[in-house]
Amino acid sequence: MGATVFVQPLDLVKNRMQLSGQGSKAREYKTSFHALTSILRNEGLGGIYTGLSAGLLRQATYTTTRLGIYTVLFERMSKADGTPPNFFMKALIGMTAGATGAFVGTPAEVALIRMTADG
């Protein structure tokens, strides 16, 4: 979640640039730096943290679900003598945990995109 606080302004710029020029509108931003300076000028310093609450919610839901599912499945797939699963089983466990985390984190991701786009 600490990384989200650091990355949020970059995520905001990325989302705004992706949405810039959608529909019949002309592209609003030429470069990432232009987007960042425009946001700071029009919305102030707090504007670059628009959507931070949704970003933190996304991390809280996605990451905790992913890590929790991975840990539980890893422990269940380990043998009784403590031998860990083989590589392919670990990969399957990781994919399952990632897919479940993505499913759980999607509503917060949608909120994040909507909140960053509203500026």
Whether residue 87 lies inside any domain: the answer is yes
Q: Which residues contact 65 (CB under 8 A, 6 or more apart)?
A: 97, 100, 101, 104, 105
Global model pTM greater than 0.75: yes
Per-residue pLDDT of the chain (119 residues; tens, 9 = 90+): 999 999 999 999 999 998 887 766 778 888 999 999 999 999 999 999 999 999 999 999 999 999 999 999 999 999 999 899 999 999 999 999 999 999 999 999 999 999 998 86
Angle subtended at Cα 91 by Cα 85 and Cα 60, rounded to the nearest 5 degrees:
105
- What was the pLDDT predicted at 111? 94
Question: Helix 2-19 and helix 52-77: axis angle, to 10°?
Answer: 120
Give SS3 for 82.
coil
Question: How many domains in the chain?
Answer: 1
- What was the pLDDT predicted at 52? 94
Whether residue 99 lies inside any domain: the answer is yes
Q: What is the residue range of 69's domain?
A: 27-118
Environment class of residue 112 by beta-carbon count within 10 Å: exposed (0-12), middle (13-18) or buried (19+)?
A: buried
